[in-house]
Structure 1
Amino acid sequence: MLETRTEADTVTSVNEPTQASTSATGGTIEKAWQLPGSEIAARLDTDAGVGLTSAEVAERLDKYGPNELDDSEQETRWQRFLKQFKDPLVSLLFVAIAISLFAWLLEGAQGAPVDAIVIAVIVLANAILGYAQESKAADAVAALSSMTAATSTVIRNGHRERIPSSELVPGDILLLEEGDAVGADGRLLEATNLRIQEASLTGESVAVDKQVERLEGEPPLAERDNCVYNGTGVVEGVGRAVVTATGMQTEMGAIASLLDETEQDESPLKREINLISKWLGISVVAIAIVVMAVLLIVSDLQSPSDYVEILVLGVSLAVAAVPEGLPAILSLVLAIGVQALARRNAVMKDLHSVETLGAASVICSDKTGTLTRNEMTLTSVVSASGKVELSGTGYDPTEGSVVERTSEQAQSEAEFTVLIGAVANNSQLDREESGWEILGDPTEAAFLVAWPKFEAHRAMPGERDAEVPFSSERKRMSVIVDGRMYTKGAPDIILDLCSHELVGQERRELTQARRDEISQAVIDLSAKGMRTLGTAFKDVGERAEFTEADESALCFAGFVGIIDPPREEAKQAIAEAHGAGIRTVMITGDHPVTAASIAEQLGVSANDRVATGAEIDAMTAEERKDVAHEVDVYARVAPEHKLRLVDALQRDGHIVAMTGDGVNDAPAVKSADIGVAMGVTGTEVTKEAARMILADDNYATIVDAVKRGRVVFDNIQKFLRYLLSSNMGEVCTVFFGVVLAGVIGLTDPNSTGVVLPLLATQVLWINLVTDSGPALALGLDPADGDVMKRKPRSLNDHVIDRAMWQRVIFIGLVMGAITLLTIDMFLPGGLIEGSDSLDVARTAGFTTLVLAQLFNVFNSRSAHESAFTNLFTNGWLWASVALGFVLQIAVVHVPFMQVAFGTASLDLQHWLIAIAMGSIVLWAEELMKVIYRALRAMRRAREELAAGK
């Protein structure tokens, strides 16, 4: 039975509460399912037709707080700061501090423990930097959360309003429609064919049919069918409820308060970064232990400080290998990238989903509003006596009129045809300060806009008595008003339900010949890219309920053509996507002819094949996979077909982005690799299922987001290439400096112990200066010129592949070699005779390594292109390099920094040599890139020759 239900006015007794709702006066309502809604509304001091006033809402919001679940997992600022010290590498630094203090005590505690203080300051500085980066990333996530916050429709001050669900208060009158997420617990006052999916709360997979009559006894939560609950979703129908509980007082809040801490799944990128960091740490600690053991065996150690020096060396080697700021920089780069997407109207709900977005190989898009403008304008009406054309565009009903008609009788029929569509309608047309706006489905709103253009003398019928809402399965809706049923829907569906046709004021029997004529007229209008809807009616008498069986023997009034022109930017975006190896698949519920026309205008497909939902139903899974491989246009598609298409495309090896707006789209959106919800027309249920929300419902925004996803992934590879190769250079310098100390003359005449090429504090300085600013600047690098000319990458591709590891090791060896050669150049003895002191030579080597890493920033912008390509497109990069250079001058020449970091002043000759030696890393990489490009060109030539080109 399909009916509108209101509730009885009797009241039953109540017992102790299990669900309590706080009234405006502080009392409670016990067991709301046992009470009639009228009494609940009275206790909450609200009116079902008018709702609360703004003043009452403000008072209750202040008293009961926002409608949000407590976030017990939210970190405080101090927790976030202290977390920076939990890293295993930071523990190594604390070991280094302890060793330095121990050495200082052994040597008589003379003066200040400079090494320990410097390391402690650097640890603190790294913690502050990591805290700042994580805070910025957290702020970005919070901003995104606010942009994707759920909304609810309520009655306040006698008007229908759309508000954030967090602002709901007890006593609000909540309006529920298909696709809405229920924003709070409530007691139903009205329900029309209302079905709600409560699996998230009760575990029941079948949607619950709702009613308004009060219940007896103690039914379990899943059987309280006159109540609605926060976190559930409306699958079908409409309803009205009074809010009885918000926030932690809801049933969802009760569950939330009992939940134990659960770990969130990590993205593939994050898992790979964590794995790399783990193995780097293990490997380098192992190397450090081996090196220390060898040195203890072969060195002539004569004082405790010599042993301490070896321990400090081991710590230095371990610290040199792993980029401490990697996790924080990764989070910040992702956050900045996602914020950039948000500014382009693509709101990502999860930072790490951006990596999947960049790998998309197929974008499955709805037609209406995404590939088209979603400015549905009713321009043609076809009825038994002819055709009527209307002017005007958009949603302003005052702009436009009847501009062409076959006859006066045709206009009368057309007027009634549009009237039916305006009555069987759940959209709303409002005049706002910014202009005319619609609330609801744009296609339905087109009838409301068109009706005034007829300047009709007949009045709009009154309030509806009953309704059978539209559903994607039925493809129609019906209402009863003043004893007459008004029905609108897909022309072929409506025509099958009709036995007669309206001709003037008469109802004539529909012959098969006339049915064929109407069907051909629908095809002709659809061929022009129009969406067609038919209307019909039937006198049923005064009644408040009816079944689907009553939707028969209708009288066909006519059908309309609604134009929704393609977006020009969508056409350009589709071409760009094709150039990037990304297929566009258009999915629509429209007629196949309409779908083919729009697809041709947009350049969606290279062929003219169109598959329908009925054909998909008849296919096996393997046949669907074959069709999905070839067909790019699907018409007369229901939401369940979308899910099958996603599965077929994924089975074909694609990374799928799927758009959706209706509640039944949610399974396909959730199943896709990147689910995309419409921010303007999308339902709350679909938004919750999606990973990305389009603020403008525009296909071009999806393509732009894919491009941005590729740029973010590229930039992650850039700063990983930079960080790992730079830290590899530090490892090679320290390791080979100790192993080859005798060869390069790295000795100290005043000491018989180990002489280090770099001090521990110097290694930490390098990481502080070069691991932060330049790496972050690489994360902000603009898009490469070929970013949308490459084929999509596979999600199985590693962010750090074999080629990158080879390049990292090569650059590390070059850095180590030029640093040690610089030291050798200035020291007496060794391969190259010099005359400077150990402090000066070490400082020169230290400076050379810093400069080499700053030069390496430009290498890291591309694995293949020259560093001199687009050299000045990243201002942040130049600023970070300049800052690093200035800081290095300071650490070499400022007296107190000399003491802290064991440096000595360098003259102009030293600086020029250090700059020249540091630049070798740039020229070496340039040579490697030239060789790579030559080999790639030769390979392509061979492939073209083999292909007979």
Structure 2
Amino acid sequence: MSDHISNTIVIKGLRTADIDTLRQRYGKNIFTQQTGRRLPAILKNVVTEPMFLLLVFAAGLYFLLNSITEGMMMLTAILLVSAISVYQEMKSEHALEALKQYTAPSATVIRDGKEISIATTELVPGDILLLHEGDMIPADAVILNANDLTVNESVITGESFPVEKQAGNKAPLYQGSTINSGACTAVVTHTGNNTTLGKLGKAITSTPNEKTALQQQTQVFVKQLAFFGVAGFAIVFTVNFIRSGDWTASLLLGLTLAMAAIPEEIPVSFSSFMALGAYYMSRMGIIPRQAQIVENLGAANVLCLDKTGTLTENRMKVVMLYDHINGQLHNLEENNPPGNNHLLYIAALANERHPFDNMECAIMDSFLADNKQQIVLPDMIHEYPLEGRPPMMTHVYPQGGTMLAASKGAVERILRVCHADRATREKITAYVDDMGRKGYRVLGVASAVIKDEMLPAVQDNADWQLEGLIALYDPPRASAADVISRLYKAGIRAMLLTGDHLSTAAYVAARVGIAGYHRGITGDEVMQMDTETLQRTVKDESLYVRMYPEAKRKVIEALKANNCIVAMTGDGVNDGPAIKAAHIGIAMGKKGTEIARQAADLVITDDNLALIPIAVEQGRRIYSNLKKAIRYIISIHIPIILVATIPLLLGWRYPNIFTPIHVIFLELIMGPTCSLFYEKEPVEDNIMQTPPRQTTSNLFNNKELFISIIQGLIITIGILALYRIYMQEHTLEKTRTMVFTTLIISNIFLTFANRSFTETFIKTIRSRNPLTPLIIGLSVLFLAVIQLVPGIRQAFGLTAVNISDYGICLITGFVCVAWFEIYKQCLPALSKR
């Protein structure tokens, strides 16, 4: 291994032609994975479902009763139901696998002398890695060269403080660690299970999927209906057995009700909606790192925004200088200083020699443009890294027999270490406020001469002299104001959490339209507040300045304690804790750090802020469509259950109109309808003009559940009325045909009525759903086959009926559902009462 690496530590990196050989030798850069669900696991899940077991049991009973035709029909039904279930599960599985490809972390490497980005799983020993601040180290590596490098190795050592790293084997990089500051070039030594992390058996990217609130609510609802089915099974079996004494026939009829009552479509719909919804969003450039996050998107009511790189373009430029030594103010937008400006020279010394931070790049660009005499910057001999609250950083250089220290940082900190007098403070503060009101980000610059050879233990202790101020401008994104406006219309409150000075942050907040800020709360003030005070404060104040990771996280926790569903955007290392703490962490995909992306729940691939309301809209669409599917399931199960039980309990002439065959073929229609048709429903027009849903409430409020139950009851009344009329003068087969046909027709009308709970059919039919023709076509085809094919008609226990009978079924089914369209038409007037 070492011989191989020694031959590859060249600027060109590995050759592409050698990669396949190395991958065959070392494998992919992944931990040994547990086998996924795939086909065998999916089949196991299908055959252990209660509905499958009931079907197998019912088929066995038919064969025991020597009802071969019915038994074969049940076996056919078993194959069809199983095929549909496997298809839905596989489709969800493929969506999740595709989602993993979208969310896989990437690494920048040098191959064939070129910088390229590859998936971290494709790394092989010998690859040359380029790592920057915020990157997660994707494999064990040895540093070739480093620049101001510190690494957080807590995942390996448990030590939370960053460790300084230099080039060489004595300070290796471990997979799973994070670049805290600086940058480096490193060569990969070990991948996959051969890394230190792999040998420790730690998994850093997988987190247990806890059940979400919606999953828990759905499961409770399913259990309640299943309990009703078990109770109904016992009643039907007992009553039939008492009357007939035939336990096998009674058992079959009891199974009929159990199959009608068990809503196995609900959990299937939930998993399909979440997986497919997340996959479709990822194709739009909004990547949910877990499918379940879609649930929270529709409920988000607070969005906390980081300023730099989120609200602004993260495109820094030096626009103004205040030179404190000569008292001159230079507006670089109007004219440049005469050249070789001492303030820019000191600021450049306080920079990294090869900067990667946007502010440092802007300062270095300004210095190089101003450097008329081609002054060469000396080599640094010591560095005090960025630290403190507010932060500053210092570089030390040789200067004759002394040393020169150059520092830059937050203006408050620079004034403090310079021991500025009151007049100077007031003057500098006035400049800073004026620059801040223009939206500029302001840094203080200071220098110190260290005369003896003893460096101070901490950078604050040098004999600092104030050099001046540097103002940088990062313009707000063109789309930011429109995005904030759309969020407010959707009932989502926007807040700004930034490390910037108050005046700069207030300027940006005003430009983009963030409301509800009064004076601005600092990070120090946040940390000093007790829990109750902060919870009251976050209700009213939307602007938080001079924030640091702990303070941002504390604000997020206070909002969550107020029962808010909080989304947090960010792109830097310091945003990681707050992103992780929020219900919905949102990271920027292009300019965001890897650690921010790994902490996030959503990644915006092209850093487009306008995708955030689109993500919310999609989350609301998916949740709304899931509710449509479940309300449809409730409504259509009610007539199946009641038509199977009421005639029996009332002692009607034909007490058992349905057999398991009828129920299972109704399930064949209902399953794809709820989990495929409703999932394809488009966004409703008013979905972003309504307030977010309350997560503290149940899946359905009393009114929604009441309407769904009423829908089912009215269909039941219509069918039972037809049942009662036809059984007086017609055979069991004729009565069953009328009842079964009316139920199928009612199901078709119900499917389209429930496409919207507010818009009428006249409008929803114009909304494009690609499965509309398929649902109608399959339902009509099913009706035609069971009526026109004698063998199938006989197996279902039906008889041929004429056109007028079909007309009665059609009218009854229509009337039983059409009232809901009238209700929706009257809904605006009713809501005003």
Q: Normalising by structure 2, report the TM-score.
A: 0.90
Change (3 A) 1:480 1:118: farther
Change (3 A) 1:237 1:267: same
Q: Deviations over 1:369-394 (max 9, x none)?
A: 21222232333333346344446xxx
Q: Deviations over 1:239-291 (max 9, x none)?
A: 554433211122332344999x9974211222222232233223212211211
- Which residue of structure 1 lines up, in the alignment, with residue 296 of structure 2? 356
Equivalent residues of 2:442, 2:469 under 8 A apart: yes
Q: Deviations over 1:436-470 (max 9, x none)?
A: xxxx4333333355455547441553665554443
- Which residue of structure 1 lines up, in the alignment, with residue 351 of structure 2? 424
- Which residue of structure 1 lines up, in the alignment, with residue 665 of structure 2? 765
Equivalent residues of 1:24, 1:171 under 8 A apart: no
- Which residue of structure 2 lines up, in the alignment, with residue 233 of structure 1? 178
- Which residue of structure 2 lines up, in the alignment, with residue 18 of structure 1? none
Mean Cα deviation higher: 869-878 or 526-535: 869-878
1:5-16 mapped onto 2 (5 Å cutoff): none
- Which residue of structure 1 lines up, in the alignment, with residue 21 of structure 2? 59
- Which residue of structure 2 lines up, in the alignment, with residue 685 of structure 1? 595
3-state SS in 2 of match to 1:351: coil
Q: Distance in 2 between matches of 1:862 and 1:679?
A: 35
Change (3 A) 1:515 1:208: closer
Note if 1:146 corresponds to 2:101: yes
- Which residue of structure 2 lines up, in the alignment, with residue 601 of structure 1? 511
Q: Distance in 1 between matches of 2:107 and 2:718?
A: 65
Q: Distance in 1 between matches of 2:114 and 2:347?
A: 25
- Which residue of structure 2 lines up, in the alignment, with residue 9 of structure 1? none
Q: Distance in 2 between matches of 1:58 and 1:551?
A: 55
- Which residue of structure 2 lines up, in the alignment, with residue 118 of structure 1? 73
Gap regions ≥5 residues in structure 2? none
* Structure having the larger proportion of residues in helix: 2
Q: Distance in 2 between matches of 1:375 and 1:97?
A: 69
Q: Deviations over 1:340-383 (max 9, x none)?
A: 33244321111112111211121111012212222323333333
Q: Which amino acid aligns with 2:797?
A: G
Equivalent residues of 1:185, 1:229 under 8 A apart: yes
3-state SS in 2 of match to 1:559: strand
3-state SS in 2 of match to 1:83: helix
Q: Distance in 1 between matches of 2:198 and 2:792?
A: 56
Q: Distance in 1 between matches of 2:464 and 2:52?
A: 78
How many angstroms does 1:865 deviate by?
4.8
Equivalent residues of 1:176, 1:234 under 8 A apart: yes
Q: Deviations over 1:519-556 (max 9, x none)?
A: 32222111111112344445669999985437733455
Equivalent residues of 1:777, 1:880 under 8 A apart: no
1:515-914 mapped onto 2 (5 Å cutoff): 516-537=426-447, 548-549=458-459, 552-554=462-464, 556-740=466-650, 742=652, 745-746=653-654, 756-773=656-673, 775-827=675-727, 829=728, 834-835=729-730, 837-876=731-770, 878-883=772-777, 884-914=779-809
Pairing partner for 2:393 from 477, 482, 488: 477
Note if 1:207 corresponds to 2:148: no
Q: Deviations over 1:568-603 (max 9, x none)?
A: 422122222222322111111111011111111222
- Which residue of structure 2 lines up, in the alignment, with residue 218 of structure 1? none
Note if 1:324 corresponds to 2:264: yes
Q: Deviations over 1:719-749 (max 9, x none)?
A: 000012111221111112333452xx43xxx
| Sequence identity (%) | 28
Q: Distance in 2 between matches of 1:48 and 1:493?
A: 43
3-state SS in 2 of match to 1:562: strand
Q: Deviations over 1:849-881 (max 9, x none)?
A: 011111112332344554444332143353244
Equivalent residues of 2:408, 2:414 under 8 A apart: yes
Q: Which amino acid aligns with 1:167?
A: E
Change (3 A) 1:542 1:769: farther
Equivalent residues of 2:497, 2:547 under 8 A apart: yes
Change (3 A) 1:462 1:60: farther
Change (3 A) 1:906 1:457: farther
Pairing partner for 1:314 from 254, 274, 286: 254
How many angstroms does 1:189 deviate by?
5.7
Change (3 A) 1:543 1:188: farther
Change (3 A) 1:806 1:919: same
Mean Cα deviation higher: 792-801 or 84-93: 792-801
- Which residue of structure 2 lines up, in the alignment, with residue 386 of structure 1? 328
Equivalent residues of 2:753, 2:761 under 8 A apart: yes
RMSD: 3.4
Pairing partner for 1:289 from 204, 224, 234: 234
Change (3 A) 1:324 1:546: same
3-state SS in 1 of match to 2:386: coil
Change (3 A) 1:67 1:426: farther
Q: Which amino acid aligns with 1:779?
A: E
- Which residue of structure 2 lines up, in the alignment, with residue 446 of structure 1? 362
Q: Which amino acid aligns with 1:887?
A: F
Change (3 A) 1:283 1:316: same
Change (3 A) 1:485 1:160: farther
3-state SS in 2 of match to 1:412: coil
Equivalent residues of 2:435, 2:442 under 8 A apart: yes
Equivalent residues of 1:417, 1:558 under 8 A apart: no
- Which residue of structure 1 lines up, in the alignment, with residue 197 of structure 2? 252
Gap regions ≥5 residues in structure 1? 1-21, 26-40, 108-112, 216-224, 392-402, 429-439, 500-509, 747-754, 939-949
1:210-221 mapped onto 2 (5 Å cutoff): 210-211=164-165
Q: Distance in 2 between matches of 1:355 and 1:262?
A: 18
Q: Distance in 2 between matches of 1:182 and 1:804?
A: 50
Equivalent residues of 1:350, 1:691 under 8 A apart: yes
Q: Distance in 2 between matches of 1:516 and 1:421?
A: 26
Change (3 A) 1:550 1:620: closer
Q: Normalising by structure 1, report the TM-score.
A: 0.80
Q: Distance in 2 between matches of 1:895 and 1:443?
A: 80
Mean Cα deviation higher: 62-71 or 845-854: 62-71
How many angstroms does 1:645 deviate by?
0.6
3-state SS in 2 of match to 1:359: coil
3-state SS in 1 of match to 2:79: helix
Q: Distance in 2 between matches of 1:158 and 1:937?
A: 70
